[in-house]
Chain A
Amino acid sequence: MHIIGLLTLLLLAVLCANVITRPKELTATSVNLLMQREQENSILTPCSRFTDGYAQLPFQDGNFPEWPQYYHTTAAAVIEEHLQSFMRAPKCAAATGNDVLPAGPKLQELAKKLPGWKGAAVSQWEMSSVLLEFLRAYECALQERLYFLHQDAIKTLENASSAQGQDTAITLTQLITQVSEEDETIARELAVARPTLNRSLAVLAGLSRLLPLHTELQCIERASLDIRNALALGAEASACLPRIWNAKDPLRDLPQ
């Protein structure tokens, strides 16, 4: 009897724990709270697409089918640009280390849309951080879409119908199909996006650790060329030294 009692209690406890740990749904109050936190700390803000910080990212209600394409194309372009940065001439006269290799246009464009870099300059060194933050925002957006999947699916179907000038009444079959498709996309993206970026960064991390050194060496090389040219001029001048050996034949004018 004791065992049965204990098992029952355990079952109850697990059920309770389930209830307690069940994720809260977002409400207007919680969105306000998120926005307040974002204002307090823009860098460590919760990554909700309902807040101002992430409003510039195109993860909006009406364009869900385009999210994966946008995310992967942007990440691919930033990574491709990063590889090109090995070919880019650094600004050796820059005042700070970060300015030596400023971010390429694609990285800058993406960074501006993320709260961490809105008011700050971004360097090419920070490519990994920017992409990881972008991934976080994407995962948050997917997760939020999942929370409100049915409401959002209804809205999507309604918008699609009204755009075609049809009746906005939605059938259950339509809803189930839409929800099922979106659910599959979200599950797949949540499973694929992070490993893909991790894999890409694993290759790039090895290369990127040498990027500062490579940049420095380029600057030293250019400085060395300057010094060589200056010394070549010095050598050219020193070729005149024999002409002053014999001071009886002055190169210069005697004072009048």
Chain B
Amino acid sequence: MKHLFAPLGFVLLLLTATGVHAQSLGGLQIYENMHSVTLKEVALEGVDEQIINYVVQLADQENMIPKGKTAADMKEAVKAAFETRLDDFCEKYAVTYDACPQTYQMFRDWGRDIIETRTLSTDLLHIATGYETGVMGGMGDIFTIAERTLTIRNLWRSQDDALLTPEVFPLIRAVPRPDSITDGMFDDLGAELKKYVPNAVWRYRYGIAAFDKEPCRETQGSTELFEAIEERSCAVEEKLRALRDALPAAVSEFDPMLQRGEIVIFPLRRLDDPAHVIVWMMAENVNGEVVRDVGLGWDLMLESVPIGILGGAPCDTDKLGEAYCTVVDNYMVRPGGRYEDPPKEPGADEGGLCQLPFARDGYLCRPMRPDRCNAEIPDKDPKSIVLAECKPTQAKQPVAITASGPDVCRTGWWRIPLHPEEMSKDTAEEDPDLRPGHCSNCVVDIVCSESCGGIDGFDSETQLKDENGIIKICLSRKNHPSLLASGLIHELIHAQQLCPLRREDTTIDDETCCALEAEAYRASCRILDTNGILERANVSIDECIGAGANKSCERYGKTICSSLDTETIWNKLMAIAQKDTSSYLSCDELVSDMANKEPIAAAMKEGMNGACTPGCQTKYENTIGNNLCYVGQCIEQSIEQSRVIPGRMALVVGDESYPWDSCAVDDSQAGGLITLPAVSPPLTPAYNPRLLVESLDRALCQLNGLPAQTPPILCQFNYQRRLNIPTSDYVSTALSFAAQIEENDIPTMQLQRMTQSIAARIGSSLLTRYLSWAGSALSDTLRTANQLLNSMEKTQFPLETCPRQAVEKPDFCSASSSPSE
């Protein structure tokens, strides 16, 4: 039995997507940059042309340009002032010597003021970069927490997880760059790009897909951040498009084929010139179509575009005032510097940050969904501001039951179809010649029909297995296309439930109905969720399952499976589905090309084959979860279908079938005492800003040795104290009075420092509480895995089998049970 598929999958993700990270980061020169910024700010060294122009324009506005001098002359004078050449300045400025030092100092002050403002804006951008890098989900960052987390998650996952976990994680795969993308293409891009750095990097950091709708019109030269990020550079766009067009364009060009919603990331590429610029490329299967995109990014974004100080016309007088706009319009200077209004933050449908594969799952791009929280926050403080809270559904949920105990990974989503061509034998019409292969007890015949006699709008049906082992699934052509895939998967689950059973063993009562339907709806509701229908209908997965099961088991009574308002929920779902105008396949298209159009359904058909049946192959992606699925199915198939120790069936519990049954080696009890961690999504801890401010107020009073007062400003230092309570002599009173400022300064300084410390500790405490919850399940699982693997390592297998003939001597027992390595 050949079973292991060794995919490149996430090993490639490790090797290729992070390939750029393996390179040296060298030359970011953070310290050197900051040193130069500080020198400019403190000593007016290396001041750029913009600042000089700004001071000249201000001097013009203040009528301080002497007669006979031009703006160009003034530039030289301002430069001299910045370079502390007083004599030169006086000579170039040509005013009386008395007025010269005063003007000299004034120009320097103007320069220093605007540099301070600009430095503040770049400082804030740098701090934001420090805090956002790694967690923003931007492509090409020097490290990405989301990418690492997803890599770990993908190493652990089994595709069947989707049925059990309330979270929806994107499927992400790394694929090497196609050969058609050459180094020369990146060099060409770099050559164009360096003319427009950093503006073009800002502009195309979210990809170029959003620009396809409008033809390119060149706009360049902005010196202000929010103008710069609205510019376009046609040459750069052209080079980026060339890269994008070289990426695979069809689902079938990827191996294995791209699943619906799956994202492909190609290795990031750092450009040689300009330095620290990254080119990223991705592709995604959106409803069967491959959507590709290419964009730019920084490994560490330190190339800020500072605040605008020049230009700015036309000026909005309503917003900025007439006086301000007069200066802007007449002198082309923005006094004090100004940022334009930021562009509107794009939503999930409008591109921008939410286009990026890691960022799109961030809180900015994804609304809180009811199924993401499954518990209320305990002991909530009445004064707290709760960032996220949901109430769990109180409805009783049906429990899935199966014929012979739990079925590990039965849906088969974890498997990859081995022979897609076999699928094509099943057409949209009835195929009476289909017969099960030797790996399976049944074969599924999917038929598209005008009506199947099921629920209105979700009309599909699975018939019992016939004498030839055929399970017929009927899908109605009248169902809305948005519900077709979900209906097919629902019925395939039923087929899996029926496959191992004989026709006469299939008895259904209300409890069985609920259990069987709940299992099927768990899968089909997940598909509706992935397609966004549940979110638009504001229905959680649990509600969808409960309502669906009620609807399907209506013949046993109303709300027999779950105490939910079934009609309301169901009608909402159907209404949203009917309004869905996305392109979906018809029933005939879906069935005739299932392997390509709906790989999950194809995997489910594959799942009908026993994973461990001798002579049958199984193929799956090499992940921890999938390996466990395989091991689990093998063990289950062994225990449920075979007796692994020779002998007859015992008559009563405790009987030995044969005396030498006891020859079996003692159960090693591996994993016997292991408790599986609970599956519970983490909650954001309660955040109580009012309490925090109150504690700060108390601290202020304590610092001044006073009890808490309201308002806390009353605890501020009383400057009249020494006058009201003078000391015994003038000298000490005067000294005390003179030292009052310092006395006041000390607690103020302490409070400022303490506030930062308190804030940092509160932030850390919130993060710790979040992580201790979020990380505990993973750490428990790791511990359990470690324990199990250790037990497996220590398991000793006997070399001799138990005797199977009654005539054999009983002392074989002791011989066969002696363990050895």
Would you give the 0/1 interface string for B132-162, flagging 1 where the beta carbon is closer than 8 Å to chain A?
Answer: 1111000000110100110110011000000
Considering only residues 161-205 of chain A, those with a C-beta below 8 Å from chain B are: 188, 191-192, 195-197, 199-200, 202-205
Question: B800 near A252 (CB under 8 angstroms)?
Answer: yes
Residue of A at shortest CB range from B812? A255
What is the distance, in angstroms, from A81's C-beta to the closest C-beta of chain B? 10
User: Which residues does chain B contribute within 8 Å of A253, judged by CB atoms?
Assistant: 799-801
Which residue from B27, B132, B612 sits with its C-beta under 8 Å from A239? B612
Judged by a CB distance under 8 angstroms, whether B816 is at the interface is yes
Question: A192 near B789 (CB under 8 angstroms)?
Answer: no
13 contacting pairs across A/B (C-beta < 8 A): A86-B143, A195-B38, A199-B34, A203-B302, A207-B133, A224-B624, A228-B622, A241-B634, A242-B614, A242-B634, A248-B646, A252-B799, A252-B801
Which residue from A13, A196, A217, A251 sits with its C-beta under 8 Å from B34? A196
Question: B731 near A239 (CB under 8 angstroms)?
Answer: no
What is the distance, in angstroms, from B674's C-beta to the closest C-beta of chain A? 15
Report the bound CA distance from A234 to B31 in whole Å.
Answer: 51
User: Which residues does chain B contribute within 8 Å of A200, judged by CB atoms?
Assistant: 30-31, 34
Judged by a CB distance under 8 angstroms, whether B405 is at the interface is no
Segment with Cβ contacts to A, from B549-557, B636-644, B698-706: B636-644
Question: B738 near A13 (CB under 8 angstroms)?
Answer: yes
Please indicate which of the listed interface residues A230, A232, A243, A251 has the most CB atoms of chain B within 10 Å of its own CB.
A232
What is the distance, in angstroms, from A22's C-beta to the closest C-beta of chain B? 16
What is the distance, in angstroms, from B322's C-beta to the closest C-beta of chain A? 38
Would you give the 0/1 interface string for A56-87, flagging 1 where the beta carbon is closer than 8 Å to chain B?
Answer: 00000000000000001001100110011011
Report the bound CA distance from A246 to B143 in whole Å.
Answer: 53
Question: A238 near B302 (CB under 8 angstroms)?
Answer: no
User: Which residues does chain A contribute within 8 Å of B3, judged by CB atoms?
Assistant: 235-236, 239
Known: A203-B127, A204-B130. 12 other contacts (CB 8 A): A87-B23, A195-B38, A202-B123, A203-B30, A203-B302, A206-B127, A217-B149, A221-B151, A224-B624, A235-B630, A247-B804, A255-B803
What is the distance, in angstroms, from B787's C-beta to the closest C-beta of chain A? 12
Residue of A at shortest CB range from B142? A86
Judged by a CB distance under 8 angstroms, whether A26 is at the interface is no
What is the distance, in angstroms, from B718's C-beta to the closest C-beta of chain A? 21
Question: A80 near B630 (CB under 8 angstroms)?
Answer: no
Report the bound CA distance from A206 to B26 in whole Å.
Answer: 19
Report the bound CA distance from A197 to B35 in whole Å.
Answer: 8
Residue of B at shortest CB range from A251? B801
User: Which residues does chain B contribute within 8 Å of A14, judged by CB atoms?
Assistant: 738
What is the distance, in angstroms, from B275's C-beta to the closest C-beta of chain A? 14
Which residue from A83, A232, A242, A254 sits with its C-beta under 8 Å from B1? A242
A interface residues with partner B (beta carbon < 8 Å): 6, 9-10, 12-14, 16-17, 72, 75-76, 79-80, 83-84, 86-87, 188, 191-192, 195-197, 199-200, 202-207, 210, 213-214, 217-218, 220-221, 223-225, 227-228, 230-232, 234-236, 238-239, 241-248, 250-255
Considering only residues 774-801 of chain B, those with a C-beta below 8 Å from chain A are: 778, 782, 785, 789, 792, 798-801
Report the bound CA distance from A242 to B734 in whole Å.
Answer: 99
Which residue from A83, A195, A213, A238 sits with its C-beta under 8 Å from B634? A238
Residue of A at shortest CB range from B638? A241
Report the bound CA distance from A6 to B641 in whole Å.
Answer: 107
Please indicate which of the listed interface residues A6, A14, A200 has the most CB atoms of chain B within 10 Å of its own CB.
A200
Question: A203 near B129 (CB under 8 angstroms)?
Answer: yes
What is the distance, in angstroms, from A4's C-beta to the closest C-beta of chain B? 13
What is the distance, in angstroms, from A3's C-beta to the closest C-beta of chain B? 12
Question: A228 near B155 (CB under 8 angstroms)?
Answer: yes
Question: A247 near B801 (CB under 8 angstroms)?
Answer: yes
Residue of B at shortest CB range from A214? B143
What is the distance, in angstroms, from B58's C-beta to the closest C-beta of chain A? 25
Please indicate which of the listed interface residues B25, B612, B631, B646 has the most CB atoms of chain A within 10 Å of its own CB.
B631
What is the distance, in angstroms, from B69's C-beta to the closest C-beta of chain A? 31
Question: B644 near A245 (CB under 8 angstroms)?
Answer: yes
Please indicate which of the listed interface residues B35, B155, B156 has the most CB atoms of chain A within 10 Å of its own CB.
B35
Judged by a CB distance under 8 angstroms, whether B628 is at the interface is yes
Question: A247 near B127 (CB under 8 angstroms)?
Answer: no
Question: A214 near B148 (CB under 8 angstroms)?
Answer: yes
Considering only residues 40-71 of chain B, those with a C-beta below 8 Å from chain A are: 41-43
Report the bound CA distance from A17 to B735 in whole Å.
Answer: 8
User: Which residues does chain B contribute within 8 Å of A202, judged by CB atoms?
Assistant: 123, 126-127, 130
What is the distance, in angstroms, from B554's C-beta to the closest C-beta of chain A? 43
User: Which residues does chain A contribute within 8 Å of B25, judged by CB atoms?
Assistant: 83-84, 86-87
Whether A87 contacts B645 in the complex (CB less than 8 A), given A75-B31, A227-B785, comes out as no
Report the bound CA distance from A13 to B135 in whole Å.
Answer: 58
What is the distance, in angstroms, from A103's C-beta to the closest C-beta of chain B? 17
Whether A188 contacts B43 in the complex (CB less than 8 A), given A227-B789, A239-B3, comes out as yes
Which residue from A232, A252, A255 sits with its C-beta under 8 Å from B622? A232
Whether A87 contacts B799 in the complex (CB less than 8 A), given A210-B145, A255-B812, comes out as no
Report the bound CA distance from A247 to B661 in whole Å.
Answer: 12
Judged by a CB distance under 8 angstroms, whether B627 is at the interface is yes
Question: B631 near A234 (CB under 8 angstroms)?
Answer: yes
Judged by a CB distance under 8 angstroms, whether B22 is at the interface is yes
What is the distance, in angstroms, from B7's C-beta to the closest C-beta of chain A? 11
Q: Ordered nearest first, which 7 A-B pairs have the shortest CB separation?
A: A206-B130, A245-B642, A247-B646, A206-B131, A76-B31, A231-B627, A199-B34
User: Which residues does chain A contribute within 8 Å of B627, judged by CB atoms?
Assistant: 228, 231-232, 234-235
Report the bound CA distance from A84 to B635 in whole Å.
Answer: 47
Whether A210 contacts B135 in the complex (CB less than 8 A), given A236-B4, A241-B612, A255-B800, comes out as yes
Would you give the 0/1 interface string for B559-575, flagging 1 where the beta carbon is closer than 8 Å to chain A?
Answer: 00000000000000000
Question: B155 near A205 (CB under 8 angstroms)?
Answer: no
Report the bound CA distance from A188 to B798 in whole Å.
Answer: 81
Would you give the 0/1 interface string for B734-777, flagging 1 where the beta carbon is closer than 8 Å to chain A?
Answer: 11001100000000000000000000000000000000000000
What is the distance, in angstroms, from B664's C-beta to the closest C-beta of chain A? 11
Judged by a CB distance under 8 angstroms, whether B300 is at the interface is yes
Residue of B at shortest CB range from A223? B782
Report the bound CA distance from A217 to B642 in whole Å.
Answer: 42
Question: A238 near B612 (CB under 8 angstroms)?
Answer: yes
User: Which residues does chain B contribute within 8 Å of A83, judged by CB atoms?
Assistant: 25, 28, 30, 142, 300
Whether A84 contacts B24 in the complex (CB less than 8 A), given A196-B35, A210-B135, comes out as yes
Please indicate which of the listed interface residues A75, A196, A202 has the most CB atoms of chain B within 10 Å of its own CB.
A196
Report the bound CA distance from A251 to B644 in whole Å.
Answer: 12
Judged by a CB distance under 8 angstroms, whether B427 is at the interface is no
Question: B634 near A221 (CB under 8 angstroms)?
Answer: no
Report the bound CA distance from A79 to B34 in whole Å.
Answer: 12
Whether A225 contacts B43 in the complex (CB less than 8 A), given A202-B130, A234-B631, A235-B630, comes out as no
Question: A221 near B29 (CB under 8 angstroms)?
Answer: no
Judged by a CB distance under 8 angstroms, whether B730 is at the interface is yes
Which residue from A204, A232, A238, A252 sits with its C-beta under 8 Å from B798? A252
Judged by a CB distance under 8 angstroms, whether B290 is at the interface is no
Residue of B at shortest CB range from A199? B34
Whether A214 contacts B622 in the complex (CB less than 8 A), given A80-B31, A83-B28, A234-B627, comes out as no
Residue of B at shortest CB range from A79? B31
Judged by a CB distance under 8 angstroms, whether B21 is at the interface is yes
Report the bound CA distance from A15 to B785 in whole Å.
Answer: 76
Judged by a CB distance under 8 angstroms, whether B39 is at the interface is yes
Report the bound CA distance from A6 to B148 in whole Å.
Answer: 72
User: Which residues does chain A contribute within 8 Å of B21, judged by CB atoms?
Assistant: 86-87
Report the bound CA distance from A187 to B126 in whole Å.
Answer: 27
Whether A205 contacts B130 in the complex (CB less than 8 A), given A214-B148, A221-B152, A234-B792, comes out as yes
Residue of B at shortest CB range from A236? B4
Residue of A at shortest CB range from B147? A217
Report the bound CA distance from A236 to B134 in whole Å.
Answer: 38
Report the bound CA distance from A224 to B157 in whole Å.
Answer: 11
